[in-house]
C-alpha cells in the first residue's frame, strides 16, 4: 500500500456504470439528426475519449466540431443527462475506505466539466473524497497525458507514486506516457486483454476490489 500516495480515477466505465446510457443516447441523437448509422460497439469503443476526438473517429467524413455541436444541441433540447448514472456496486464504499486509509484521490475523465459536476451533484457523498479533478474540455483529451501531468503538478506527487485506474486503453496509455503505473478495471468497455496489452500492471473486476489489491491480496 505504501507504494502509492495518489489514486486517480476515470469516471465513466470505472466509477459510473454509464456505458449503456452513453451508447443508447448517442444512437438516439444519430437517428434524430439523420446522421449515418453506426453500430453500438463503434460508439462504445470511443467512451473515455474527449467528445471532439470521439466524433472525429466516429464520423471521419464530417467536420468533428460540427458533429459535436449537433450532438450537444440535441442533448440540451432533449434534456438528457449523461451524468445521471449509478456508481458501480461497492465503488463508493471503496473510495471512502481508501480515503480513510490516507490515500489522496483524484478524477481524470473524458467528461466535460459540466458533466462531471452534474455527476458529483448526483453522488454528493463521493464529491468530498476527491482532492482535485481534470476534464477533457479544460485540458488535452485522452490519451494525451496532460490532465495527469496537471494533477501531479497540483498535488506535488511524482508519477511513480500515483496510480491511474481506468477501464480503457486510453487511461492506461496516458499514464504509461509519463511513467505512471496504471490499473485496469474489467467492468467497463475494454476487455482485460486489451488493457494488459496497453501496459496495465493488473486488471481487477472493479473499483470495489481496489482496497484488497492495494493491500496485496
* Catalytic center residues: 10, 12
User: Residue holding cell 500492471?
Assistant: 201
3-class DSSP assignment, residue 147: helix
128 phi and psi, to 5 degrees?
-70, -10
Cα(25)–Cα(21) distance, integer angstroms? 6
Helix axes 51-58, 64-78, angle to 10 degrees: 110
Grid cell in block for residue 110? 473524458
Cα(91)–Cα(72) distance, integer angstroms? 29
Cα end-to-end distance, the chain, whole Å = 11
3-class DSSP assignment, residue 114: helix
Grid cell in block for residue 19? 456505458
Amino acid at each position: 500500500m505504501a507504494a502509492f500516495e495518489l489514486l486517480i480515477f476515470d469516471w465513466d466505465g470505472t466509477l459510473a456504470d454509464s456505458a449503456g446510457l452513453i451508447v443508447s443516447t448517442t444512437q438516439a441523437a444519430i437517428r434524430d439528426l439523420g446522421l449515418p448509422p453506426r453500430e453500438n460497439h463503434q460508439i462504445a469503443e470511443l467512451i473515455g475519449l474527449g467528445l471532439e476526438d470521439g466524433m472525429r473517429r466516429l464520423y471521419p467524413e464530417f467536420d468533428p466540431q460540427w458533429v459535436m455541436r449537433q450532438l450537444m444541441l440535441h442533448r440540451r433540447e432533449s434534456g438528457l443527462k449523461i451524468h445521471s448514472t449509478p456508481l458501480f456496486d461497492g465503488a463508493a464504499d471503496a473510495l471512502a475506505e481508501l480515503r480513510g486509509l490516507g490515500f489522496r484521490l483524484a478524477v481524470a475523465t473524458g467528461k466535460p466539466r459540466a458533466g462531471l459536476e452534474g455527476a458529483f451533484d448526483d453522488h454528493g457523498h463521493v464529491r468530498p473524497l476527491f482532492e482535485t479533478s481534470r476534464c477533457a474540455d479544460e485540458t488535452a483529451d485522452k490519451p494525451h497525458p496532460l490532465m495527469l501531468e496537471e494533477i501531479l503538478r497540483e498535488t506535488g506527487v511524482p508519477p511513480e507514486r500515483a496510480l491511474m485506474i481506468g477501464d480503457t486503453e486510453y487511461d492506461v496509455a496516458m499514464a504509461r506516457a509519463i511513467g505512471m503505473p496504471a490499473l485496469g478495471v474489467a467492468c467497463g468497455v475494454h476487455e482485460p486483454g486489451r488493457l494488459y496489452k496497453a501496459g496495465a500492471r493488473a486488471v481487477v473486476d472493479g473499483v470495489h476490489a481496489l482496497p484488497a489489491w492495494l493491500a496485496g491480496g
